[in-house]
Amino acid sequence: MKIPVILNSEKVILDAKPTEKLSDVLRKLGLLSVKNGCGQGLCGSCTVLLDDKPVPSCIIPVGIVRNASIETLEFFSLTKEGEDILSGFKQAGITLCGFCNSARIFSTYALLKKVYRPSLEELETLADCIECNCTDKKTFMNGVIYATAAKHEREGRKNGHI
Protein backbone atom coordinates (compact mmCIF):
# COMPACT_ATOMS: atom_id res chain seq x y z
CA MET A 1 0.00 0.00 0.00
CA LYS A 2 1.25 3.50 -0.81
CA ILE A 3 0.98 5.82 2.19
CA PRO A 4 1.81 9.50 1.72
CA VAL A 5 3.35 11.22 4.76
CA ILE A 6 5.60 14.11 5.61
CA LEU A 7 8.68 12.45 7.06
CA ASN A 8 11.26 14.75 8.60
CA SER A 9 9.80 17.70 6.64
CA GLU A 10 9.85 15.90 3.28
CA LYS A 11 6.86 14.52 1.41
CA VAL A 12 7.41 10.79 0.93
CA ILE A 13 5.39 7.75 0.02
CA LEU A 14 5.76 4.81 2.38
CA ASP A 15 5.32 1.46 0.65
CA ALA A 16 4.15 -0.93 3.34
CA LYS A 17 1.36 -3.19 4.47
CA PRO A 18 -1.15 -1.09 6.44
CA THR A 19 -0.76 -3.33 9.51
CA GLU A 20 3.03 -3.03 9.59
CA LYS A 21 4.38 -1.20 12.65
CA LEU A 22 5.50 2.35 11.96
CA SER A 23 8.72 1.63 13.86
CA ASP A 24 9.59 -1.24 11.48
CA VAL A 25 8.90 0.86 8.39
CA LEU A 26 11.06 3.73 9.68
CA ARG A 27 13.94 1.41 10.53
CA LYS A 28 13.79 -0.09 7.03
CA LEU A 29 14.27 3.47 5.77
CA GLY A 30 17.49 3.68 7.80
CA LEU A 31 16.11 5.86 10.59
CA LEU A 32 17.94 4.08 13.36
CA SER A 33 17.00 6.45 16.18
CA VAL A 34 13.74 4.48 16.17
CA LYS A 35 14.73 1.51 18.31
CA ASN A 36 12.85 -1.75 18.72
CA GLY A 37 12.48 -2.24 22.45
CA CYS A 38 9.50 -3.74 24.21
CA GLY A 39 7.17 -3.71 21.19
CA GLN A 40 4.26 -2.70 23.46
CA GLY A 41 4.65 1.08 23.57
CA LEU A 42 5.98 1.12 27.12
CA CYS A 43 9.75 1.61 26.98
CA GLY A 44 9.86 4.73 24.77
CA SER A 45 12.80 3.64 22.64
CA CYS A 46 10.71 3.90 19.46
CA THR A 47 9.23 7.33 20.20
CA VAL A 48 8.67 9.69 17.27
CA LEU A 49 6.74 12.91 16.87
CA LEU A 50 3.47 12.17 15.07
CA ASP A 51 1.73 15.42 14.19
CA ASP A 52 4.00 17.10 16.76
CA LYS A 53 3.09 14.74 19.62
CA PRO A 54 5.41 12.05 21.05
CA VAL A 55 4.07 8.55 20.37
CA PRO A 56 5.49 5.02 20.59
CA SER A 57 5.81 4.07 16.92
CA CYS A 58 5.88 0.33 17.72
CA ILE A 59 2.13 0.31 18.38
CA ILE A 60 1.12 2.53 15.45
CA PRO A 61 0.02 0.65 12.32
CA VAL A 62 1.51 2.52 9.37
CA GLY A 63 -1.86 2.49 7.63
CA ILE A 64 -3.25 5.11 10.00
CA VAL A 65 -0.50 7.70 9.42
CA ARG A 66 -1.68 8.69 5.94
CA ASN A 67 -0.94 12.40 5.40
CA ALA A 68 0.53 12.74 8.89
CA SER A 69 3.73 14.53 9.82
CA ILE A 70 6.38 12.26 11.35
CA GLU A 71 9.65 13.44 12.88
CA THR A 72 12.40 11.17 14.06
CA LEU A 73 15.21 12.06 16.42
CA GLU A 74 17.69 12.33 13.53
CA PHE A 75 15.75 15.32 12.19
CA PHE A 76 14.47 16.80 15.44
CA SER A 77 17.98 17.00 16.95
CA LEU A 78 18.88 19.53 14.24
CA THR A 79 15.96 21.87 15.00
CA LYS A 80 16.21 24.85 17.34
CA GLU A 81 14.01 23.06 19.88
CA GLY A 82 16.17 19.96 19.66
CA GLU A 83 19.32 22.00 20.09
CA ASP A 84 17.84 23.68 23.20
CA ILE A 85 17.11 20.30 24.78
CA LEU A 86 20.45 18.74 23.85
CA SER A 87 22.25 21.84 25.15
CA GLY A 88 20.35 21.64 28.45
CA PHE A 89 21.08 17.95 28.80
CA LYS A 90 24.78 18.53 28.09
CA GLN A 91 24.91 21.34 30.64
CA ALA A 92 23.44 18.96 33.25
CA GLY A 93 26.06 16.33 32.39
CA ILE A 94 23.57 13.91 30.87
CA THR A 95 24.98 11.21 28.63
CA LEU A 96 22.07 9.26 27.20
CA CYS A 97 22.46 5.54 26.59
CA GLY A 98 20.94 5.45 23.10
CA PHE A 99 17.94 3.43 24.24
CA CYS A 100 15.99 6.20 25.97
CA ASN A 101 17.11 9.17 23.85
CA SER A 102 13.91 9.69 21.88
CA ALA A 103 11.67 9.19 24.92
CA ARG A 104 13.59 11.69 27.03
CA ILE A 105 14.06 14.29 24.30
CA PHE A 106 10.54 14.14 22.85
CA SER A 107 8.84 14.10 26.25
CA THR A 108 10.89 17.13 27.26
CA TYR A 109 9.87 18.84 24.02
CA ALA A 110 6.18 18.13 24.69
CA LEU A 111 6.43 19.54 28.22
CA LEU A 112 8.28 22.70 27.15
CA LYS A 113 5.77 23.26 24.37
CA LYS A 114 2.94 23.10 26.90
CA VAL A 115 4.32 25.12 29.83
CA TYR A 116 6.56 28.17 30.06
CA ARG A 117 8.41 27.04 33.18
CA PRO A 118 7.81 23.48 34.42
CA SER A 119 6.93 23.04 38.08
CA LEU A 120 8.76 20.61 40.32
CA GLU A 121 5.74 18.31 40.16
CA GLU A 122 5.73 18.39 36.34
CA LEU A 123 9.47 17.64 36.27
CA GLU A 124 9.06 14.72 38.67
CA THR A 125 6.15 13.31 36.65
CA LEU A 126 8.21 13.56 33.47
CA ALA A 127 11.22 11.89 35.09
CA ASP A 128 9.08 9.09 36.50
CA CYS A 129 7.60 8.28 33.08
CA ILE A 130 10.89 7.08 31.62
CA GLU A 131 12.37 3.89 32.99
CA CYS A 132 16.07 3.89 32.19
CA ASN A 133 19.05 3.89 34.51
CA CYS A 134 21.47 5.83 32.30
CA THR A 135 20.51 9.10 33.99
CA ASP A 136 19.29 9.60 37.53
CA LYS A 137 16.06 11.47 38.18
CA LYS A 138 17.63 14.63 39.63
CA THR A 139 20.13 15.00 36.79
CA PHE A 140 17.38 14.55 34.20
CA MET A 141 15.20 17.13 35.93
CA ASN A 142 18.16 19.56 35.95
CA GLY A 143 18.65 18.90 32.23
CA VAL A 144 15.05 19.89 31.58
CA ILE A 145 15.53 23.06 33.63
CA TYR A 146 18.65 23.94 31.62
CA ALA A 147 16.79 23.17 28.38
CA THR A 148 14.01 25.52 29.51
CA ALA A 149 16.58 28.25 30.09
CA ALA A 150 18.15 27.63 26.67
CA LYS A 151 14.74 27.90 25.02
CA HIS A 152 13.96 31.14 26.83
CA GLU A 153 17.33 32.61 25.93
CA ARG A 154 16.92 31.67 22.26
CA GLU A 155 13.44 33.19 22.22
CA GLY A 156 14.69 36.31 24.00
CA ARG A 157 12.34 35.79 26.94
CA LYS A 158 13.13 36.50 30.56
CA ASN A 159 10.86 36.21 33.57
CA GLY A 160 7.90 35.17 31.43
CA HIS A 161 8.03 38.25 29.19
CA ILE A 162 9.14 38.79 25.62
Q: What is the pLDDT of residue 160?
A: 53
Does residue 75 surpass a pLDDT of 60?
yes
CA pair distance 27, 31, nearest whole angstrom:
5
Give me the pLDDT at residue 133, please: 86
Whether residue 39 has pLDDT greater than 90: no
| Structural contact between residues 47 and 54, judged by C-beta atoms closer than 8 angstroms | yes
Q: How confident is the model at residue 5 (pLDDT cuts 50, 70, 90)?
A: very high
Dist CA 12 CA 26 (whole Å): 12
Residue 40 has pLDDT above 70, yes or no: yes
Is 92 a residue whose pLDDT tops 50?
yes
User: Does position 131 have pLDDT exceeding 90, yes or no?
Assistant: no
